[in-house]
Amino acid sequence: SPAVCPARTAQNQDVMIRLVAVDSFGDQHSHALDRLGAKHLASMPQNHALPVLNRIAYENKYYFAVFPMMQDVLSLPDFHDYVEAADYIEQLVEGLEFFHERLVSHGDICKENILINLVGPPLCTVDQPLRSRFPARYYYTDFEFSTCSDEGESRSSVQGSPVSWSDRGGVYGRPSAPEVSKPGFYSPFRADVWQLGYLLHSEFEDFPHFEGYQLLFKSMMDDDPRLRASTKEALKVVRRLKQDLHPIRGLSSNKSGNKLGDAFGLLEYAAWMVDVHG
C-alpha cells in the first residue's frame, strides 16, 4: 500500500509506518487509535488493536503512526487443529467486543485487516502446526472506516457505505451487512458484527464438526440487525465452545469426541438463543 512503509528503528526493531491523516482528513482513524491506544488500555490482553509505538507529524499536515511489523493472516497455512481455530475465533470476537465496549466500530473487517505477531515465512510444512508453536496473537488493523461514539450517543449514527460517510469516495468492495445498502441510518456496531460473522462463516464453512460455531456465525449475520448476536453474547458462546473443543487435538482423530463436542455446542447455543431472544 502506498500509505504504508516498512522501516527499522535505531534499536533494530522492524516496524511499519502508516499515513493515517492529512490535515483533518483521516481524523476518525486517528481518534480510534487514540482511544484504543490510551495508556490504561494499550496493554490490556483483550485489546486486539494493533499497538501504536510512536506518532510522527510533518509540517502539521501529515500525521503518521508507527506500528510493530506483523503479517496478515492470508499468508498463513491452514489451521492445524481445532485448538488453533478456536483460539483465532475467540481472539477476533474478544477484540471486537473490546472495541465496542469503548464505543469504537471498525467498519472494515476482513482477512486483509487481521494481522498475526509473526514476521517471515512460516518455519513448518503444511502438515505441521504453526500457530500453536508460539503464543499466537491476532490484531485488527486499518481503522480508516471506524467511528468513535460518545456515551449516550445513538448507535444508529451512520448512513450508506463506509466509503460514503468517511468522504473517501470510490466503491466499497467488502461484503457488508444488508442495511448498509439501504436508505436510513444504521448502527456501525451491528454492521461490524455482520462482517465478523461473514468472515468466520466463510473461513470455517467447510470445517468438519463445527456446527456449533456455524450456528453462531449465522446468527451474527442475521438480516435483521436487532436479532444479531452482540459481541458480548458471541464471546460467551465461543468461550464455552472452546472449553469443549480444547481436548480435541486434530481434525482427523477422535471423530466421536468431535461430534460430542458439537452436541454440547448446539445445546449451549440453543440455551443462549432462548435466553437472548425468548
What digits encode the pLDDT tens for the residues 214-245? 999 999 999 999 999 999 999 999 998 888 77
Which pLDDT value is given to residue 96?
98
What digits encode the pLDDT tens for the residues 146-171? 999 888 776 667 888 776 555 555 56
Burial status of residue 114 (CB atoms within 10 A of its CB: 0-12, 13-18, 19 or more): buried
pLDDT band at 261 (very low <50, low <70, confident <90, very high): very low
Task: Say if residues 74 and 118 touch (Cβ distance below 8 Å).
Answer: no
Task: Say if residues 104 and 36 touch (Cβ distance below 8 Å).
Answer: yes
Does 114 have pLDDT greater than 50? yes
Which pLDDT value is given to residue 18?
94
**What cell was used for 219?**
446468527
d(CA 242, CA 245): 5
Mean pLDDT of the 82-108 span: 95
Calculate the alpha carbon distances from 164 to 110, 160, 170, 206 in Å: 19, 6, 8, 34
Closest CA to 227 of 217, 219, 235, 218: 219
Does 117 have pLDDT greater than 90? yes
Which pLDDT value is given to residue 110?
95
This prediction has a pTM of: 0.85
Mean pLDDT of the 83-96 span: 95
Which pLDDT value is given to residue 159?
81
CA atoms within 13 A on the CB side of 264: 15
Mean pLDDT of the 114-127 span: 74
Does 189 have pLDDT greater than 50? yes
Which pLDDT value is given to residue 250?
33
Mean pLDDT of the 189-214 span: 92
Which pLDDT value is given to residue 270?
53
Please, what are the domains in the chain? 4-68 (3.30.200), 71-277 (1.10.510.10)
Q: What percent of the chain has pLDDT over 90?
A: 52
DSSP 154-179: -S--EES-HHHHTT--S---S---GG
Residue in the block written with cell 472506516: 145
Burial status of residue 75 (CB atoms within 10 A of its CB: 0-12, 13-18, 19 or more): exposed
**What cell was used for 29?**
482513524
Contacts of residue 120, Cβ cutoff 8 Å, sequence gap at least 6: 71
What digits encode the pLDDT tens for the residues 38-85? 888 988 999 999 999 999 999 988 999 999 999 999 888 888 888 889
* Choice among 5-19, 208-222, 234-248 with the minimum mean pLDDT: 234-248
C-beta atoms surrounding 187 within 10 Å: 21
* Choice among 4-18, 112-126, 190-204, 237-251 with the minimum mean pLDDT: 237-251
pLDDT band at 272 (very low <50, low <70, confident <90, very high): low
d(CA 168, CA 25): 9
**Coil, strand, or helix at residue 208?**
coil
Q: Which residues of 208-245 are buried (b: 16+ CB within 10 A; e: fewer)?
A: ebbbbbbbbbebbbbeebeebbebebbbbbbebbbebb
Mean pLDDT score of the chain, rounded to an integer? Answer: 83
Task: Say if residues 107 and 145 touch (Cβ distance below 8 Å).
Answer: yes
Q: What percent of the chain has pLDDT over 70?
A: 80
* Long-range contacts of residues 180-187, Cβ cutoff 8 Å, at least 24 apart: 183/159, 184/159, 185/154, 185/156, 185/157, 185/158, 185/159, 186/156, 186/158, 186/159, 186/225, 187/155, 187/156, 187/157, 187/158, 187/225
Which pLDDT value is given to residue 150?
86
